[in-house]
Amino acid sequence: MIRKLLRKVFKRPATPARHEPAILPVERHGIRREQLSPAARKVCAVLQEKGFKAFVVGGAVRDLLIGQPPKDYDVATSATPEEVRAAFRRSRIIGRRFKIVHVMSGPETIEVSTFRASQDAESTDTDEHGRVLRDNVFGNQQEDATRRDFTVNALYYDPGTETIVDYHHGVADIQQKTLRVIGDPRTRYREDPVRMLRAVRLAAKLGLAIDPAARQPIREMGPLLENVPAARLFDEMLKLLFSGHSMKCLQQLRGEGLHHGLLPLLDVILEQPMGERFVTLALENTDERVREDKSVSPGFLFSTLLWHEVLKTWDKKKAGGDHSQPALFEAMDEVLDAQAGKLAITRRIAGDIKDIWAMQPRFDKRTGKAAYRVIEQPRYRAGWDFLRLRAQAGEIPMEIVDWWDDFAHAGHDEREALLRQAPPEAAPAAKKRRRRKRKPAGENATPADDAVVDPS
Ligand code: ATP
Ligand code: MG
């Protein structure tokens, strides 16, 4: 409060001095308008025809410069949301505090936002740690550039002239493979601690080095992530895990000390030697799918990341005399609850996770009706994929996985034959007594199996 007042009295300029941007012609950057999606071009063209400024901005320009295909397109414009809405029949305004417009064109949705003013301390609401709570003032293009996070994200491409408007030397930074924060990194992280996670994700995804001035404060400022709402953190974690470079991102998070004590999930993932092979396989699998443009499911990924926690908790309960099935359900809830405080796993995703976990013991029952019921499960395929991952990690024999695949794809007579061949169900865990060492997982046994043994 007092600092704000002093700043007002002494009229310290809150934003850096105004400077003219570089206007880079196509010879300098090489991006032709044909490389953009048709929808992005059209949105800019329509707005420009109506006399507004309109540019493709952010990740798409950056990715094109680096030579990666853009994930989606954002457009920044001088038009207000209402003016954008009026220009496109298939569009809708979303967001209440700061409105943006989704413009639908063919199969694409383009996110169009009005130039925003930068977040200066005088005009912005912050919490007691300096985190910006409201960021809802329209501004001009120069201000819009200054409020963006990294220089490489503040590039404005005009499809009409094929020029890039570059206020913060972002093109040079891309050429030098550097991720640089716009403004003072400490101030920018304080305003929005998620920028630290974005730095790590973008550096890993794009093969950029984080500029030392931006990197150095991260270790010390990491705890500010504790004040970020859980839902926002969850969104950011999804982006990180589905970036196609999840292993690299997580290693880098660990390298920057960002995982420790901040995100319980990351503590679990990075510090469970027993489940490491399983988690590594799951992440590699996800990275591969993302890069091949195949669908990925958050429920599946989180179920793999947390599985060894469930196994550990489940096993403790069984060792304490609980029945296997209720013990599993209690363990599932406990593990998910432990995440809930920091990471708001949505209810739907939590449902998917539980379905996958709950199916696992049912794969042990290769008898008549029970087996038929398993393959009729709506989430059977995800459950089976999970089972396969367990086998690949050496937790169970691959024979079970193959058997279920044969069973699911066989005709009636073949199924009956498979059921006759199936070995009897694994002996249930001792109920009232301390559990002995878990049945060895065949010749594939690895340290991962030890994770299910009560260490006490
Ligand atoms: P990708 O879409 O590949 O994950 P992106 O940089 O496009 O990366 P978005 O979340 O789509 O990420 O954001 C679009 C743009 O909005 C960014 O390029 C950046 O200019 C700006 N931006 C996003 N998040 C922030 C933030 N926390 N602080 C400041 N600017 C941000
Ligand atoms: Mg984007």
What ligand has the least distance to the C-alpha of 153?
Answer: 1
| pLDDT tens, position by position, 370-394 | 999 999 999 999 999 999 999 999 9
C-beta 166 within 6 A of ligand 1: no
CB atoms within 10 A of CB 375: 16
Q: Where are the alpha helices (DSSP H) in 274-397?
A: 276-291, 298-319, 324-340, 347-359, 368-376, 380-392
Tens digits of residue pLDDT in 294-318: 889 999 999 998 898 899 999 999 9
pLDDT value at position 108?
Answer: 95
Nearest partner of 242 among 205, 190, 203, judged by Cα: 205
The predicted pLDDT at position 422 comes to 83
Residue 96: the pLDDT is 74
- Ligand 1 centre and the CA of 411: distance in Å? 51
The dihedral built from the CA positions of residue 136, 141, 147 and 150, taken in this order, carries a sign that is positive
pLDDT for residue 368: 84
pLDDT, residue 98, reads: 79
Kindly provide the residue ranges of all beta strands, DSSP E only, lying in 65-149, ordered along the sequence: 74-77, 91-94, 100-105, 108-114
pLDDT at 340: 76
Measure 23 CA to ligand 2 centroid, in angstroms: 22
Determine the Cα–Cα distance for residues 31 and 60; give it in Å rounded to an integer.
11
- C-beta separation of 366 from 425 below 8 A: yes
**Nearest ligand atom owner, CA of 167:** 1
Q: Output the CA 201–ligand 2 centroid distance in Å.
A: 13
pLDDT at 423: 78
Q: If you ran DSSP here, which 8-state letter would residue 186 be given?
A: H
Looking at residue 439, its pLDDT comes to: 42
Pocket test for ligand 1, best of 68, 72, 73, 74 (most atoms within 8 A of CB): 74
- Which segments in the chain show pLDDT lower than 70? 1-18, 119-124, 133-136, 260-265, 272-274, 341-342, 424-456
- Specify the pLDDT at position 311: 92
Query: Which two structure tokens, joined as six digits, stand for 88?
Result: 């496109």
Q: Is 106 exposed, middle or buried (0-12, 13-18, 19+ CB in 10 A)?
A: exposed
Residue 74 Cβ inside 6 Å of ligand 1? The answer reads yes
What is the CA(15)–ligand 2 centre distance, in A? 25
| pTM, entire model | 0.80
Tell whether ligand 1 has an atom less than 6 A from the beta carbon of residue 81: no
For the chain, domain boundaries: 2-176
- Beta strand 209-210 with 178-179: parallel, antiparallel or unpaired? parallel
pLDDT value for 135? 62
Is there an atom of ligand 1 within 6 Å of 239 CB? yes
> Of all protein residues, whose CA lies closest to atom 18 belonging to ligand 1?
58
Q: Which residues of 227-263 are buried (b: 16+ CB within 10 A; e: fewer)?
A: ebeeeebbebbbbbbbbbbbebbbebbbebebbbebb
Q: CB neighbours of 94 closer than 8 A, spacing ≥ 6? A: 100, 101, 102
Q: Are 77 and 54 in contact (CB under 8 A)?
A: yes
b vs e for 64-96, b when ≥16 Cβ sit within 10 Å of the residue's Cβ?
bbeeeebeebbbbbbbebebbbebbeebeeeee
DSSP assignment of 85-108? HHH-SSEEEE-SSS-EEEEEETTE
72 is catalytic: yes
Q: In this structure, what token pair is assigned to residue 306?
A: 């947390």
Nearest CA residue ID for atom 25, ligand 1: 149
Architecture of domain 2-176: 2-Layer Sandwich (3.30)
- 74 is annotated as an active-site residue: yes
